[in-house]
Protein backbone atom coordinates (compact mmCIF):
# COMPACT_ATOMS: atom_id res chain seq x y z
CA UNK A 1 0.00 0.00 0.00
CA UNK A 2 2.83 2.38 0.90
CA UNK A 3 4.36 2.33 -2.55
CA UNK A 4 1.05 3.09 -4.26
CA UNK A 5 0.47 5.93 -1.90
CA UNK A 6 3.88 7.45 -2.52
CA UNK A 7 3.38 7.06 -6.27
CA UNK A 8 0.21 9.10 -5.94
CA UNK A 9 2.10 11.75 -4.00
CA UNK A 10 4.87 11.84 -6.59
CA UNK A 11 2.39 12.29 -9.43
CA UNK A 12 0.56 14.99 -7.51
CA UNK A 13 3.73 16.98 -6.82
CA UNK A 14 4.85 16.56 -10.42
CA UNK A 15 1.54 18.01 -11.63
CA UNK A 16 1.79 21.01 -9.32
CA UNK A 17 5.44 21.57 -10.30
CA UNK A 18 4.44 21.70 -13.96
CA UNK A 19 1.82 24.34 -13.33
CA UNK A 20 4.10 26.59 -11.25
CA UNK A 21 6.81 26.32 -13.89
CA UNK A 22 4.40 27.54 -16.53
CA UNK A 23 3.68 30.60 -14.42
CA UNK A 24 7.31 31.44 -13.76
CA UNK A 25 8.05 31.53 -17.49
CA UNK A 26 7.86 35.29 -17.61
CA UNK A 27 6.66 38.29 -15.70
CA UNK A 28 2.89 38.46 -16.02
CA UNK A 29 2.05 41.00 -13.35
CA UNK A 30 1.93 44.66 -14.31
CA UNK A 31 2.59 45.63 -10.66
CA UNK A 32 5.67 43.44 -10.44
CA UNK A 33 7.00 44.99 -13.65
CA UNK A 34 6.59 48.46 -12.08
CA UNK A 35 8.62 47.36 -9.06
CA UNK A 36 11.40 45.87 -11.19
CA UNK A 37 11.59 49.05 -13.26
CA UNK A 38 11.71 51.12 -10.07
CA UNK A 39 14.60 49.04 -8.72
CA UNK A 40 16.55 49.57 -11.91
CA UNK A 41 15.90 53.31 -11.78
CA UNK A 42 17.22 53.46 -8.21
CA UNK A 43 20.34 51.56 -9.28
CA UNK A 44 21.12 53.90 -12.16
CA UNK A 45 19.90 57.16 -10.68
CA UNK A 46 22.28 60.08 -11.07
CA UNK A 47 21.60 62.16 -7.99
CA UNK A 48 23.89 64.95 -9.16
CA UNK A 49 21.55 65.69 -12.00
CA UNK A 50 19.81 69.04 -11.82
CA UNK A 51 16.20 68.90 -10.72
CA UNK A 52 13.77 69.16 -13.59
CA UNK A 53 16.11 67.52 -16.12
CA UNK A 54 14.64 64.51 -17.87
CA UNK A 55 17.02 61.56 -17.75
CA UNK A 56 16.83 58.34 -19.80
CA UNK A 57 17.23 55.17 -17.77
CA UNK A 58 19.07 52.25 -19.35
CA UNK A 59 17.38 48.97 -18.44
CA UNK A 60 18.93 45.48 -18.68
CA UNK A 61 18.53 43.66 -21.99
CA UNK A 62 15.74 41.41 -20.75
CA UNK A 63 13.44 44.45 -20.46
CA UNK A 64 13.78 44.90 -24.22
CA UNK A 65 11.44 47.44 -25.73
CA UNK A 66 10.70 49.34 -22.49
CA UNK A 67 11.72 52.99 -22.46
CA UNK A 68 11.95 54.85 -19.18
CA UNK A 69 12.61 58.53 -18.46
CA UNK A 70 12.76 60.12 -15.05
CA UNK A 71 13.03 63.62 -13.67
CA UNK A 72 13.38 64.89 -10.15
CA UNK A 73 11.38 67.88 -9.00
CA UNK A 74 10.78 69.87 -5.89
CA UNK A 75 7.12 69.27 -5.14
CA UNK A 76 6.63 73.00 -4.63
CA UNK A 77 7.98 73.96 -8.02
CA UNK A 78 6.08 71.16 -9.74
CA UNK A 79 2.93 72.57 -8.15
CA UNK A 80 3.79 76.15 -9.18
CA UNK A 81 5.04 75.62 -12.73
CA UNK A 82 3.91 72.17 -13.87
CA UNK A 83 6.20 70.13 -16.13
CA UNK A 84 6.41 67.99 -19.22
CA UNK A 85 7.86 64.48 -19.08
CA UNK A 86 7.74 63.08 -22.63
CA UNK A 87 4.06 62.44 -23.49
CA UNK A 88 2.77 63.65 -20.10
CA UNK A 89 1.95 67.32 -19.50
CA UNK A 90 1.48 68.17 -15.84
CA UNK A 91 -0.30 71.47 -15.54
CA UNK A 92 0.17 74.12 -12.87
CA UNK A 93 -1.48 73.23 -9.59
CA UNK A 94 -0.58 69.54 -9.73
CA UNK A 95 -0.16 68.02 -6.26
CA UNK A 96 2.20 65.32 -5.09
CA UNK A 97 0.88 63.38 -2.10
CA UNK A 98 2.60 62.84 0.22
CA UNK A 99 5.64 64.93 -0.52
CA UNK A 100 8.13 66.35 1.95
CA UNK A 101 10.56 67.90 -0.50
CA UNK A 102 11.44 66.16 -3.72
CA UNK A 103 9.71 63.72 -6.01
CA UNK A 104 11.00 61.47 -8.78
CA UNK A 105 8.58 61.38 -11.69
CA UNK A 106 8.83 58.31 -13.90
CA UNK A 107 7.44 57.86 -17.38
CA UNK A 108 7.33 54.33 -18.78
CA UNK A 109 6.73 53.37 -22.40
CA UNK A 110 6.19 49.62 -22.27
CA UNK A 111 6.57 49.15 -26.04
CA UNK A 112 4.77 46.46 -27.96
CA UNK A 113 6.28 43.45 -26.18
CA UNK A 114 5.47 44.41 -22.62
CA UNK A 115 2.23 46.31 -23.18
CA UNK A 116 0.68 42.95 -24.02
CA UNK A 117 0.82 41.88 -20.36
CA UNK A 118 -2.00 44.38 -19.79
CA UNK A 119 -4.26 42.01 -21.70
CA UNK A 120 -3.53 39.46 -18.98
CA UNK A 121 -3.96 41.88 -16.06
CA UNK A 122 -7.12 43.67 -17.19
CA UNK A 123 -10.33 42.68 -18.92
CA UNK A 124 -9.83 44.06 -22.42
CA UNK A 125 -12.11 41.58 -24.15
CA UNK A 126 -13.61 43.18 -27.22
CA UNK A 127 -10.85 45.78 -27.46
CA UNK A 128 -7.38 46.09 -28.95
CA UNK A 129 -4.54 48.35 -27.86
CA UNK A 130 -3.40 50.65 -30.64
CA UNK A 131 -0.65 52.32 -28.63
CA UNK A 132 1.93 51.12 -26.18
CA UNK A 133 0.94 51.40 -22.52
CA UNK A 134 2.41 54.59 -21.05
CA UNK A 135 2.94 54.86 -17.32
CA UNK A 136 3.24 57.96 -15.15
CA UNK A 137 4.42 57.14 -11.65
CA UNK A 138 6.10 59.06 -8.86
CA UNK A 139 8.37 58.06 -6.02
CA UNK A 140 9.60 59.97 -3.02
CA UNK A 141 13.07 61.40 -3.58
CA UNK A 142 13.21 63.37 -0.36
CA UNK A 143 16.62 62.38 0.92
CA UNK A 144 19.36 60.30 -0.65
CA UNK A 145 17.57 58.26 -3.32
CA UNK A 146 20.17 55.49 -3.38
CA UNK A 147 19.72 54.67 0.30
CA UNK A 148 16.56 52.77 1.09
CA UNK A 149 13.69 51.96 -1.21
CA UNK A 150 11.69 54.93 -2.41
CA UNK A 151 7.98 54.55 -1.89
CA UNK A 152 5.33 55.40 -4.42
CA UNK A 153 3.56 58.72 -4.07
CA UNK A 154 0.53 60.08 -5.88
CA UNK A 155 0.28 62.74 -8.57
CA UNK A 156 -3.09 64.44 -8.39
CA UNK A 157 -4.45 67.05 -10.75
CA UNK A 158 -7.64 69.07 -10.68
CA UNK A 159 -10.53 68.21 -12.94
CA UNK A 160 -10.31 71.66 -14.55
CA UNK A 161 -6.58 71.39 -15.22
CA UNK A 162 -5.92 67.68 -15.76
CA UNK A 163 -2.79 65.82 -16.80
CA UNK A 164 -2.62 65.62 -20.61
CA UNK A 165 -1.22 62.59 -22.40
CA UNK A 166 -0.27 63.08 -26.04
CA UNK A 167 -0.08 59.73 -27.84
CA UNK A 168 0.58 61.29 -31.29
CA UNK A 169 4.18 60.11 -31.49
CA UNK A 170 3.65 56.63 -30.06
CA UNK A 171 0.40 55.42 -31.63
CA UNK A 172 1.24 52.09 -33.27
CA UNK A 173 -1.81 51.22 -35.31
CA UNK A 174 -3.13 54.03 -37.47
CA UNK A 175 -5.42 51.75 -39.48
CA UNK A 176 -8.35 52.76 -37.30
CA UNK A 177 -7.78 56.51 -37.51
CA UNK A 178 -7.53 56.25 -41.28
CA UNK A 179 -10.95 54.62 -41.20
CA UNK A 180 -12.20 57.57 -39.15
CA UNK A 181 -12.43 55.71 -35.84
CA UNK A 182 -11.16 57.65 -32.89
CA UNK A 183 -9.54 55.32 -30.34
CA UNK A 184 -10.73 55.51 -26.75
CA UNK A 185 -8.55 56.51 -23.81
CA UNK A 186 -8.06 53.69 -21.35
CA UNK A 187 -6.75 54.16 -17.86
CA UNK A 188 -5.62 51.04 -16.04
CA UNK A 189 -6.49 51.44 -12.37
CA UNK A 190 -4.63 50.06 -9.41
CA UNK A 191 -7.92 48.31 -8.53
CA UNK A 192 -7.65 46.10 -11.63
CA UNK A 193 -10.36 47.99 -13.53
CA UNK A 194 -10.12 49.69 -16.92
CA UNK A 195 -11.82 53.04 -17.33
CA UNK A 196 -12.66 54.29 -20.81
CA UNK A 197 -13.03 57.92 -21.86
CA UNK A 198 -13.13 59.88 -25.09
CA UNK A 199 -10.11 61.74 -26.38
CA UNK A 200 -10.12 65.50 -25.80
CA UNK A 201 -8.32 66.18 -29.11
CA UNK A 202 -6.72 63.85 -31.66
CA UNK A 203 -4.63 61.26 -29.76
CA UNK A 204 -4.75 63.31 -26.57
CA UNK A 205 -6.21 61.97 -23.33
CA UNK A 206 -6.61 63.54 -19.93
CA UNK A 207 -6.32 62.10 -16.43
CA UNK A 208 -6.55 63.45 -12.93
CA UNK A 209 -4.05 61.07 -11.38
CA UNK A 210 -0.93 58.99 -12.05
CA UNK A 211 -1.21 55.49 -13.52
CA UNK A 212 -1.01 53.59 -16.78
CA UNK A 213 -2.75 54.65 -19.97
CA UNK A 214 -3.30 53.44 -23.51
CA UNK A 215 -5.45 53.87 -26.59
CA UNK A 216 -8.01 51.19 -27.41
CA UNK A 217 -10.23 50.45 -30.35
CA UNK A 218 -13.30 48.27 -30.23
CA UNK A 219 -12.89 45.04 -32.16
CA UNK A 220 -15.56 44.08 -34.69
CA UNK A 221 -18.31 42.11 -32.92
CA UNK A 222 -17.80 38.71 -34.55
CA UNK A 223 -14.43 37.35 -33.52
CA UNK A 224 -15.36 33.67 -33.32
CA UNK A 225 -11.84 32.32 -33.96
CA UNK A 226 -10.33 33.44 -30.69
CA UNK A 227 -13.36 32.36 -28.67
CA UNK A 228 -13.48 28.95 -30.32
CA UNK A 229 -9.79 28.38 -29.56
CA UNK A 230 -10.18 29.32 -25.92
CA UNK A 231 -13.26 27.10 -25.57
CA UNK A 232 -11.38 24.29 -27.25
CA UNK A 233 -8.43 24.79 -24.89
CA UNK A 234 -10.80 24.85 -21.94
CA UNK A 235 -12.43 21.59 -23.07
CA UNK A 236 -9.08 19.84 -23.55
CA UNK A 237 -7.72 21.25 -20.31
CA UNK A 238 -10.71 20.19 -18.27
CA UNK A 239 -10.90 16.71 -19.79
CA UNK A 240 -7.19 16.17 -19.08
CA UNK A 241 -7.82 17.37 -15.55
CA UNK A 242 -10.81 15.05 -15.15
CA UNK A 243 -8.89 12.08 -16.56
CA UNK A 244 -5.99 12.77 -14.21
CA UNK A 245 -8.36 13.10 -11.27
CA UNK A 246 -10.03 9.76 -12.12
CA UNK A 247 -6.63 8.14 -12.51
CA UNK A 248 -5.45 9.38 -9.12
CA UNK A 249 -8.69 8.34 -7.47
CA UNK A 250 -8.25 4.88 -9.04
CA UNK A 251 -4.72 4.65 -7.66
CA UNK A 252 -5.96 5.63 -4.24
CA UNK A 253 -8.72 2.98 -4.36
CA UNK A 254 -6.27 0.32 -5.54
CA UNK A 255 -3.83 1.24 -2.80
CA UNK A 256 -6.62 0.95 -0.23
CA UNK A 257 -7.79 -2.44 -1.53
CA UNK A 258 -4.37 -4.04 -2.12
CA UNK A 259 -2.93 -4.51 1.33
C1 LIG B 1 16.00 40.48 -15.86
O2 LIG B 1 17.03 39.76 -15.23
C3 LIG B 1 17.22 40.11 -13.86
C4 LIG B 1 18.46 39.38 -13.36
O5 LIG B 1 18.60 38.12 -13.96
C6 LIG B 1 15.98 39.74 -13.07
O7 LIG B 1 16.15 40.09 -11.72
C8 LIG B 1 14.81 40.50 -13.66
O9 LIG B 1 13.63 40.07 -13.00
C10 LIG B 1 14.68 40.21 -15.14
N11 LIG B 1 13.66 41.09 -15.68
C12 LIG B 1 12.70 40.66 -16.47
C13 LIG B 1 11.76 41.70 -16.95
O14 LIG B 1 12.56 39.49 -16.78
C1 LIG C 1 10.46 41.71 -28.27
O2 LIG C 1 10.98 40.52 -27.72
C3 LIG C 1 11.76 39.75 -28.62
C4 LIG C 1 12.19 38.46 -27.93
O5 LIG C 1 11.79 38.39 -26.62
C6 LIG C 1 12.96 40.56 -29.06
O7 LIG C 1 13.74 39.82 -29.99
C8 LIG C 1 12.50 41.85 -29.73
O9 LIG C 1 13.61 42.66 -30.05
C10 LIG C 1 11.57 42.60 -28.78
N11 LIG C 1 11.01 43.76 -29.45
C12 LIG C 1 11.34 45.01 -29.14
C13 LIG C 1 10.63 46.07 -29.87
O14 LIG C 1 12.15 45.23 -28.26
C1 LIG D 1 -15.11 41.83 -19.50
O2 LIG D 1 -15.77 43.01 -19.96
C3 LIG D 1 -16.87 42.74 -20.83
C4 LIG D 1 -17.45 44.07 -21.25
O5 LIG D 1 -16.44 44.90 -21.74
C6 LIG D 1 -17.92 41.91 -20.12
O7 LIG D 1 -18.97 41.61 -21.00
C8 LIG D 1 -17.28 40.64 -19.60
O9 LIG D 1 -18.21 39.93 -18.83
C10 LIG D 1 -16.07 40.94 -18.74
N11 LIG D 1 -15.42 39.70 -18.38
C12 LIG D 1 -14.98 39.45 -17.12
C13 LIG D 1 -14.31 38.15 -16.92
O14 LIG D 1 -15.13 40.26 -16.21
C1 LIG E 1 0.47 66.25 -29.70
O2 LIG E 1 1.68 65.98 -30.36
C3 LIG E 1 1.63 66.23 -31.77
C4 LIG E 1 2.94 65.76 -32.37
O5 LIG E 1 4.04 66.12 -31.59
C6 LIG E 1 1.36 67.70 -31.99
O7 LIG E 1 1.29 67.95 -33.40
C8 LIG E 1 0.06 68.07 -31.32
O9 LIG E 1 -0.16 69.48 -31.47
C10 LIG E 1 0.07 67.71 -29.86
N11 LIG E 1 -1.23 67.96 -29.29
C12 LIG E 1 -1.41 68.69 -28.19
C13 LIG E 1 -2.82 68.89 -27.76
O14 LIG E 1 -0.48 69.17 -27.56
C1 LIG F 1 -4.49 47.35 -36.68
O2 LIG F 1 -5.88 47.39 -36.34
C3 LIG F 1 -6.71 46.65 -37.22
C4 LIG F 1 -8.14 46.82 -36.74
O5 LIG F 1 -8.55 48.15 -36.83
C6 LIG F 1 -6.30 45.18 -37.17
O7 LIG F 1 -7.09 44.45 -38.08
C8 LIG F 1 -4.82 45.05 -37.55
O9 LIG F 1 -4.42 43.70 -37.39
C10 LIG F 1 -3.98 45.92 -36.63
N11 LIG F 1 -2.58 45.87 -37.05
C12 LIG F 1 -1.60 45.61 -36.19
C13 LIG F 1 -0.23 45.62 -36.76
O14 LIG F 1 -1.79 45.39 -34.99
For CA atoms 139, 154, 166, 76, give the dihedral sign: negative
Query: pLDDT tens digits for 100-155?
Result: 789 999 999 999 989 999 999 999 999 999 999 999 999 998 665 455 678 899 99
For the chain, what's the residue count?
Answer: 259
CATH code assigned to 13-218: 2.60.220
Give the count of beta carbons closer than 10 Å to the beta carbon of residue 158.
13
How does residue 201 score in pLDDT terms, banded at 50, 70 and 90?
Answer: very high
Protein residue with least CA distance to atom 10, ligand 4: 166
Query: Is it the case that residue 228 has pLDDT exceeding 70?
Result: no
Please work out whether the CB of residue 60 comes within 6 Å of at least one atom of ligand 1. yes
Query: pLDDT tens digits for 87-103?
Result: 999 999 999 999 878 99
Could you give the residue ranges of the DSSP H alpha helices within the chain?
Answer: 2-24, 30-44, 75-81, 111-115, 117-121, 175-178, 224-257
Query: Is it the case that residue 161 has pLDDT exceeding 60?
Result: yes
Radius of gyration for the alpha carbons in the chain, expressed in angstroms and rounded? 24
Protein residue with least CA distance to atom 1, ligand 1: 62
* Ligand with an atom nearest the CA of residue 66: 2
* pLDDT score, position 17: 43
Protein residue with least CA distance to atom 8, ligand 2: 64
Q: Please tell me whether the overall predicted TM-score, pTM, comes out greater than 0.85 for this model.
A: no
Query: pLDDT tens digits for 33-91?
Result: 999 999 999 888 777 778 888 999 999 999 999 999 999 999 999 999 999 999 999 99
- Residues forming beta bridges with residue 140, ordered by sequence position: 103
Domain boundaries, the chain: 13-218
Ligand 4 geometric centre to CA of 99 (Å) = 30
* Ligand 3 binding residues, C-beta < 6 A: 123, 125-126
Amino acid sequence: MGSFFSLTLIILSWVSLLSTEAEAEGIRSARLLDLLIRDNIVKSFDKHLKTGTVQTVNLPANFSGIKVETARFRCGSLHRYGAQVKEFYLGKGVNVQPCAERVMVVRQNLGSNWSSIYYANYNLSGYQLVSPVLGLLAYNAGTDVSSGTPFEVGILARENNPIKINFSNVITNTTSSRRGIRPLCASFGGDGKVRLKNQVSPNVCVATRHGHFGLLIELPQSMPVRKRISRWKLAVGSSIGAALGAFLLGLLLVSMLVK
